[in-house]
Amino acid sequence: MNETPFPLTVPTLSDQDLLEVEEQVLVAVNTRSVDHLNVFGLGEISVAIGWPTDEPVAVVKRLIPNPDPQRTLSDIEQVRGFRSKIEERGGAVLPTDLRTVTRDDGHVIPYMVQPAVPRAMLAETVLDNDQPVAEHPLLVALYDYVERVSTDRFSIDPQIPNFAWHEGGLWLFDFSTPQLYDADGNFAANFDSGLLTLPALVRPVASRQVSKIFEYYRSHTGALTQTIVFLKRIGADRWVEPALETFNARLSDPIHAATVEERYRAQVKEFPQLKRLVQIQRTWIERVRREQFEFIITDSFAGTIL
C-alpha cells in the first residue's frame, strides 16, 4: 500500500464544463476526428481528454451512457463501489470524481474526472525512459498490486498504461470497467451498456467473447499475462522478457512466452472485428434511425479514430 498521498487533487469542474466537454465529444463522434481535442489516451470506445483544451488541469473520460438514465446511474454507482473495493484491498487509486451531467435531450452522461498527471509520472513513460531490466521497481510494484487486490471474484486490468508512478508506488487511474464474478465464476458486473454499441443480433456472441477476455483476469497469472500482452500492444516489446522474469519469479503458475504471443495475435485479430461491428451499428443508428450515435470508435492498436 502507498504510504505517500498522491500530490495532485481532482480539479473542480462545473456541470457547464462537462456539458462543454460533452459538446466536443459529440463533434468528435460526428466528424470521426479528435483533432480539436487534447487527447491524453485512447480506450476501446472512449477517449481521455485534457480539459480545458489549451491548458489542461483535468483529464475527463466519458463512460458508457445508457438510453435508460437509471441504468446510467446504476452503472456509475457500480464503478464507485469497484473503486472502494480496490482501496479496501490496499490498492491506491488516483483521486477521482465520478459525475453525471444531463444534456438538453434528457440523456444522462457519466464522466470520470481526474487530475492531469504529468507525462513523467505515467508508468508507461517511466518504462519508456528506463533501461529494461528484471526486478525493475515498477514491475515488482505491479506484481504486488495485483497480488494484493485481485482474486478470482474481483479483478483489475493491470496494463501498464492504467497506472501513474509516484515515489515508488503505483496509482490506478482506469477502473471504469468493473470485473466482478459470482461464486460459480460467471461475470457478474453490468456490461449491458457496452453491448448496446453492437448490433442486437451479435450481442450474445460479443457477450461471450467479452466474458472470455475477462476470464483471463481471474488469476494472477492470467492478469499479468495480459499485462505483458499490452506491453507488446504499446510497442514496449523490450520490456516483455524483464516482465516475464520478474513475474515468474513470484508466480506459482508461470507465464509462458508462447501464451503471450498467442493472446497478442488473437487480440490483433479479434479487437478490430469487434470495432467493425460497432461501425455497422453506428451506420444503422445514424442512417436508418436518424439518431445521434453516442460513442467514439477507436483503433487502440493504431491509436486512431474509426
pLDDT digits (tens, 9 = 90+) for 215-230: 888 899 999 999 999 9
**189 or 256, greater pLDDT:** 256
Q: Which 3 state secondary structure label does DSSP give 91?
A: coil
Model confidence at 22, pLDDT cuts 50, 70, 90, reads very high
**pLDDT, position 224:** 98
Q: Is the separation of the CB atoms in 299 and 272 below 8 Å?
A: yes
**pLDDT, position 205:** 67
**Grid cell for residue 62:** 466519458
**Grid cell for residue 193:** 451498456
**Grid cell for residue 245:** 522474469
Percent of the chain with pLDDT over 70: 94
User: Residue range 268-273: average pLDDT?
Assistant: 83
User: Residue range 194-222: average pLDDT?
Assistant: 77
SS3 content of the chain, % helix, strand, coil (to 5): 45, 15, 35
Q: Provide the strand spans (E) within 14-96.
A: 38-42, 47-51, 58-62
- pTM value is 0.92
**Grid cell for residue 138:** 515498477
Eight-state DSSP code of residue 96: -
**224 or 70, greater pLDDT:** 224
**pLDDT, position 31:** 95
Distances (CA, A) of 152 to 67, 173, 185, 188, 237: 32, 21, 8, 12, 28
**pLDDT, position 200:** 73
Eight-state DSSP code of residue 6: P
**pLDDT, position 203:** 74
Distances (CA, A) of 5 to 94, 113, 187, 189: 10, 18, 33, 30
**Grid cell for residue 159:** 496494463
Asked if the peptide bond before residue 110 counts as cis, ω within 30 degrees of 0, the response is no
Alpha-carbon distance 275 to 297, whole Å? 7
Q: Is the separation of the CB atoms in 49 and 59 below 8 Å?
A: yes
